[in-house]
Amino acid sequence: MTILVTGGAGFIGSNFIFYLLRHRPDDRVICVDSLTYAGNLSTLSSVMQDQRFRFYRADICDREAIGEIFQKERPDVVVNFAAESHVDRSILDPSAFLRTNIFGASVLMDASLQYGVSRYHQVSTDEVYGDLPLDKPELMFTETTPLRTSSPYSASKASADLLAQAYFRTYGLGVTISRCSNNYGPYHFPEKLIPLMIINALNDRPLPVYGKGENVRDWLYVEDHCAAIDLILRKGREGEVYNIGGHNERKNIDIVRLICGELNKPESLIEFVDDRKGHDLRYAIDPHKIETELGWRSKVSFDEGIRKTIQWYLENRSWWQTILSGEYQDYYRMMYGKSDE
Ligand code: NAD
Ligand code: TYD
């Protein structure tokens, strides 16, 4: 099978490529990525020479370039990870989110129809369901929870989900959609909570916690997410949505304290800063459908996953130090009012 993975130079896409090359020896993997600030070609250096792998630098909104790649590679399956993915950036400027996350997805779906792709998988997020109250722990997102978005990011992701369902119904494109909770693990871009806190703690920099740190996220180790998508590609039913999550809800402040503890850094580094606008209170995934229908289970506990993640950031300083020296500085200054150096 030839699997075309978009956004494969980013966090989850790269981990998915490694997963496929490791577990699916008969598959070819084609990566398409435009290398935005979040894409990093060095992440893929270990697979660049692999005969089963090929990389194309292209923008998913560029219809001509995408058509040429589909024409040449004739993928059987497309997995769309390519996206603008950071909520805070979407609040600063939504436009790139609408372009890539909605229009780009439609270009990929058109090409999938034109070149007879048998499965188009849209990687979505639990954020399309909005948020849950903090005082009703029994409530969780199921696949039938209404879409109720809070940020330009989540609105753009929900739009792509609706488009994918429309392409299934109207054109018969073989679509599946997965909605996953927050991922963590190797190659996570330093702007996101867990890597930001690890890196700042290592550099003895303040740890900026929004509001009171009471917001809850449901964390999943990235490899568990990759295994779930691989399973959906092979066994999932067309036209269906699958929620992915590992029943691991944590308050932000507890995660930051845990990271301080693991790195032997004082909690006095924690700085409570202005809250995010429209900040979602709590996410919690009910993964019953994928567990019962496809037999998926998360395998990595949070204690194990967070230790592996911290270890990875300790052992791969040059990966994140290169990022910190680039455009990221301007963003950090705009967000947090000071340099990250
Ligand atoms: P990321 O920001 O780390 O990576 C995104 C990748 O997409 C980058 O390599 C970037 O260069 C590429 N890209 C962006 N715009 C592009 C364009 N126009 N054309 C081609 N490539 C482009 O994101 P991530 O955290 O790996 O997320 C991947 C996907 O998973 C996204 O669709 C996101 O919405 C979804 N998701 C993420 C999480 C999470 O916790 N990170 C959770 C659920 C769902
Ligand atoms: P983030 O990693 O941006 O993921 P998402 O917004 O998609 O859930 O943020 C996770 C949580 O951490 C979210 O509640 C916002 C909070 N947060 C902070 O408190 N401080 C920070 O510097 C960042 C980036 C996030």
Task: Tell me if 61 CB under 6 Å of ligand 2.
Answer: no
Task: Tell me if 189 CB under 6 Å of ligand 1.
Answer: yes
CA of 192 to the centre of ligand 2 (A): 6
d(CA 322, CA 304): 27
Q: Which positions are annotated as active-site residues?
A: 126-127, 153
Considering the segment(s) 2-188+219-247+282-300+329-336 as one domain, its CATH architecture is 3-Layer(aba) Sandwich (3.40)
d(CA 244, CA 194): 19
All structural domains of the chain with their residue ranges: 2-188+219-247+282-300+329-336
pLDDT of residue 325: 84
CA atoms within 13 A on the CB side of 104: 25
Task: Tell me if 151 CB under 6 Å of ligand 2.
Answer: no
pLDDT in tens, 38-77: 999 999 999 999 999 999 999 999 999 999 999 999 999 9
Task: Tell me if 107 CB under 6 Å of ligand 1.
Answer: no
pLDDT of residue 341: 52
What mean pLDDT, rounded, does the chain reach?
Answer: 97
Instruction: Report how far Cα 25 is from the mean position of its chain's Cα atoms.
Output: 24
User: What number is the average pLDDT over the span 255-273?
Assistant: 98
Which amino acid does the sequence have at 326? G
User: What number is the average pLDDT over the span 247-256?
Assistant: 98
Quick one: which ligand is closest to 225's CA?
1
Task: Tell me if 323 CB under 6 Å of ligand 1.
Answer: no
Grouping H, G, I as helix, E, B as strand and the rest as coil, residue 160 is helix
Structure tokens at 270: 């924690």
Structure tokens at 67: 């058509």
Is the pTM higher than 0.95? yes
Task: Tell me if 39 CB under 6 Å of ligand 1.
Answer: yes
Share of the chain above pLDDT 70, in %: 99
Nearest to 292 by CA among 222, 221, 217, 231: 231
CA of 103 to the centre of ligand 1 (A): 15
Quick one: which ligand is closest to 195's CA?
2
pLDDT bucket at 339, cuts 50 / 70 / 90: low
Pick the atom of ligand 2 nearest to 280's CA.
14
Task: Tell me if 149 CB under 6 Å of ligand 2.
Answer: no
CA of 105 to the centre of ligand 2 (A): 25
What backbone phi and psi angles, to 5 degrees, belong to 278? 65, 25
CA of 216 to the centre of ligand 2 (A): 10
pLDDT of residue 333: 86
pLDDT of residue 119: 98
CA of 218 to the centre of ligand 2 (A): 12
In b/e form, how buried is each residue of 18-55, taking b as 16+ CB within 10 angstroms?
bbbbeebeebbbbbbbbebbbbbeebbeebeeeeebbb
Share of the chain above pLDDT 90, in %: 94
pLDDT in tens, 230-244: 999 999 999 999 999
Return the residue whose CA atom lies nearest to atom 32 of ligand 1.
81
pLDDT of residue 329: 82
pLDDT bucket at 334, cuts 50 / 70 / 90: confident
